[in-house]
Amino acid sequence: MFVITCPHCCEAREEEEFHYEGEAFIARPVDPEAESDEAWGDYLFTKKNPKGWHWEMWNHATGCRKILVLKRNTANHIIAGSWTLSDARKEYDNERATA
């Protein structure tokens, strides 16, 4: 069981209160109609599934029902942090810029 800190409720809560919402920051194509079937299928179904650090969205389903972003290590389940979507975006972009 994870203990996840909800950035909206500002409190650490049990995993049971949350629902996994998949990989974070997958950009939706600006014009879906113009996309090829491959590109659209890629957007819908291709996920990173790494062994190691993973940026993912969770929904605080029984609490504030808002989306939050976790950076979690899929190999050892260490959680590096949790942010609101906009705050996480900055962290994510910073990390990619420095990598």
- Positions touching another protein (CB under 8 A) are 8-11, 13-14, 16-17, 60-66
Three-point CA angle 15, 20, 24, nearest 5°: 125
Strand segments (E) across the chain: 3-6, 11-14, 19-23, 53-59, 67-73, 79-83
Task: Give the nearest distance from C-beta 65 to another protein in angstroms.
Answer: 6
Specify which residues 71 forms β-bridges with. 55, 81
Task: Give the nearest distance from C-beta 40 to another protein in angstroms.
Answer: 32
Residue 21: phi and psi, rounded to 5, are -120, 10
Task: Give the nearest distance from C-beta 27 to another protein in angstroms.
Answer: 25
Nearer to another protein by Cβ, of 4 and 70: the residue is 4
Are 70 and 82 contacting, i.e. CB atoms less than 8 angstroms apart?
yes
Nearer to another protein by Cβ, of 19 and 73: the residue is 19
Task: Give the nearest distance from C-beta 42 to another protein in angstroms.
Answer: 33
Nearer to another protein by Cβ, of 63 and 91: the residue is 63
